[in-house]
Amino acid sequence: DNRPIVIAVDGPAASGKGTIARALAAHFGLPHMDTGLLYRAVALNLWRWGGDPSSEFEALRACSAVGVDPDDPELRSEAVSKYASAISAYPSVRAALLERQQEFAGQPKGAVLDGRDIGTVIAPDAPVKLFVTASAEVRAQRRVRELLARGMPAHLEDVLLDIHARDDRDSSRKTAPLRQADGALLLDTTDLDVDQSIAKAINLAEEQLARAE
Ligand code: CDP
Ligand code: CDP
pLDDT tens for 178-201 read 999 999 999 999 999 999 999 999
pLDDT of 65: 67
- What's the pLDDT band for 71 if we cut at 50, 70, 90? confident
C-alpha torsion 120→122→124→128, nearest 10: -100
- Helix then strand count (H, E) for the chain reads 8, 5
- What's the pLDDT band for 69 if we cut at 50, 70, 90? confident
Determine contact, residues 197/130, Cβ cutoff 8 Å.
no
pLDDT tens for 151-181 read 988 999 999 999 999 999 999 999 999 999 9
Determine contact, residues 182/8, Cβ cutoff 8 Å.
no
pLDDT tens for 88-140 read 999 999 999 999 999 999 999 999 999 999 999 999 999 999 999 999 999 99
**Pocket of ligand 2 contains residue 40 by CB under 6 Å:** no
Distance 155 CA to ligand 1 centre (A): 20
How much is the pTM?
0.96
Please give the single-letter amino acid code of residue 56. Answer: E
CA-based torsion, 149, 153, 159, 162: positive or negative: negative
Q: How far apart (Å, rounded) are the C-alpha atoms in residues 141 and 154?
A: 10
Residues annotated in a binding site for ATP: 11-19
- Tell me if ipTM is over 0.95: yes
Distance 20 CA to ligand 2 centre (A): 8
CA-based torsion, 196, 107, 66, 64: positive or negative: negative
